[in-house]
Chains A and B, each alone.
Chain A
């Protein structure tokens, strides 16, 4: 090992350490920004070191340098502009897009490395370890690429959010699995060339599409986490193909992050991963609110002024935001109301269910964007013991995650961890109608004698409450 090689390896090690430490600093909102900057510094080190290797060894053809530079600059610019302009509500689809391009790049590396070998030496001379990682990188990367694009399209509303199934879908799926495995095994065994690689890529892309189409909008937090994990693994496989330690380490870290979030989200919905991937559960974004449904038991309605008065007299208020709040883009209104209450001397906090948004933690980002202090955001375990000491719970656009029926057996939400909203002294629910949530069952909270319904759009209702509060305060 020359001195130059040693230096490069040390720099790569430094980059990998920065990634780990950067993630470690993400354990607190106070240090998280530094963590991200540290991780970015590590990335810069890795990129600069690689440029140094390429120029030092003088191995890169002139044309490749130009092609590489053009690609990097155009992609980097596109990424920069998108990241600057994107709205916080569009974060899930942006993360999906980054999963797609990351997985796609990993698959292309596997493919590009394979066709390099195809020209120079016979495939059968390749060690199995090289062909196997190429197979896996191409398969996982391809599935991630097309799957993330479909998921992102669903989140952005370009593709219908409803679960899409069509006759023969399962058979087609099975055929694609067989094609992918057959071509993969053929390639791994050393008998494949370009046609086999193309068959494998096509099968992987098709599988990604077919796997994501039948999954409904409510399951998106799981899907997006799972695709994130897949991207990480695909990048790690590309690292194996190229013998590149930074890629293996970073890929494994991302794989772990995605894996943990996938498990957390699936647990929060009390559904198994297999059940979610099989699909068919959960509907679109907006079509559940409209239809009135027969709810057994009396529902008590409350006027805006009374609700505002109730909030003003409370000592402790917990706000439970759900996807309805995000869909109505009412995060600013809710935070303004919370600020007004705080100023009035009321103790306010937010009880946020893990699957309140379309991706893990999305509600927290929306509230942070609207200037809510992060100390007021409480997760399920933190907030549940506090409900019994809470005077008023304000539920905005959340449904199934507050349904007390989850504690009983034998219904669609049984066993799902819920926010114990019904243990508070009184509850105000802002909702457009008595429509069902994704689980498609009545919410027993709405017929609880302690509950008062404020039938309104989230944005309109919150603004009215704030006006009512102001009128009372002066």
Chain B
């Protein structure tokens, strides 16, 4: 086992623990955006695809590269956009509902 591998394993384990610690505090209301947001974070795989691109030299390698690149880009772009779309819908309670009755959102 090389020191480099050991450092990687250390980072992995500590990140897991940090993740558990931080994410346990997310309320149930936000679990769907949390999942979409973590989807976006694993979109970091796009960085891996770019690193891989530096080493391809066979037709099979190129084929894998283009599929991997489109997968990863779809993941990272789509997940951030949709998470933002969801989160902007979470609105606080309208202030002073009874004092100043706001217009009912319904039309029926």
CB-based A-B contact count at 8 angstroms: 410
A248 in contact with B8 given A29-B90, A68-B53 (CB within 8 Å): yes
| A95 B81 Cβ-Cβ under 8 A | no
Q: When each residue 268-305 of chain A gets 1 if its CB lies under 8 Å from chain B and 0 otherwise, what string results? A: 00000000000000000000000000000000000000
| B12 A113 Cβ-Cβ under 8 A | no
Alpha-carbon distance between A318 and B73 when the two chains are bound, in angstroms: 43
| A67 B65 Cβ-Cβ under 8 A | yes
Chain B residues 52-78 with CB under 8 Å of chain A are 52-58, 60-62, 64-78
Chain B residues 4-43 with CB under 8 Å of chain A are 4-5, 8, 11-13, 15-20, 22-43
| A360 B33 Cβ-Cβ under 8 A | no
Alpha-carbon distance between A240 and B2 when the two chains are bound, in angstroms: 13
**Interface assignment of A71: CB less than 8 Å from any CB of chain B:** yes
Alpha-carbon distance between A73 and B76 when the two chains are bound, in angstroms: 12
Alpha-carbon distance between A19 and B29 when the two chains are bound, in angstroms: 20
Q: Is the interface of B mostly helix, strand, loop or mixed?
A: helix
Chain B residue numbers with a CB within 8 Å of A228 are 35, 38-39
**Interface assignment of A463: CB less than 8 Å from any CB of chain B:** yes
**Interface assignment of A251: CB less than 8 Å from any CB of chain B:** yes
Residue of A with least CB distance to B83? A36
A105 in contact with B19 given A95-B35, A466-B106 (CB within 8 Å): no
Number of A residues contacting the other chain (C-beta, 8 Å)? 130
| B47 A27 Cβ-Cβ under 8 A | no
B17, B37, B38, B69 pick with most chain A CB within 10 angstroms: B38
Say which residue of B12, B74, B84, B85 sits within 8 Å of A252 (CB atoms).
B12
Chain B residue numbers with a CB within 8 Å of A126 are none
Alpha-carbon distance between A336 and B80 when the two chains are bound, in angstroms: 30
Chain A residue numbers with a CB within 8 Å of B47 are 46-47, 50, 244, 246-247
| B38 A244 Cβ-Cβ under 8 A | no
Residue of B with least CB distance to A245? B11
Chain A residues 318-363 with CB under 8 Å of chain B are 332, 335-336, 339-340, 342-343, 345, 352, 354, 357, 359-362
Alpha-carbon distance between A239 and B15 when the two chains are bound, in angstroms: 13
**Interface assignment of A250: CB less than 8 Å from any CB of chain B:** yes
Whole-angstrom distance from the CB of B52 to the nearest CB of chain A? Answer: 5
Whole-angstrom distance from the CB of B1 to the nearest CB of chain A? Answer: 7
A99 in contact with B45 given A71-B73, A75-B72 (CB within 8 Å): no
Chain B residue numbers with a CB within 8 Å of A343 are 97, 101, 104
| B78 A256 Cβ-Cβ under 8 A | no
Whole-angstrom distance from the CB of B80 to the nearest CB of chain A? Answer: 5
| B108 A336 Cβ-Cβ under 8 A | yes
A256 in contact with B61 given A248-B11, A373-B93 (CB within 8 Å): no
**Interface assignment of A157: CB less than 8 Å from any CB of chain B:** no
Say which residue of B28, B53, B62 sits within 8 Å of A364 (CB atoms).
B28
10 residue pairs from A and B, CB less than 8 Å apart: A59-B55, A67-B53, A105-B49, A105-B68, A242-B48, A246-B44, A247-B44, A336-B106, A359-B35, A364-B29
| B contact set with A: CB distance below 8 Å | 1-2, 4-5, 8, 11-13, 15-20, 22-58, 60-62, 64-94, 97-98, 101, 104-106, 108
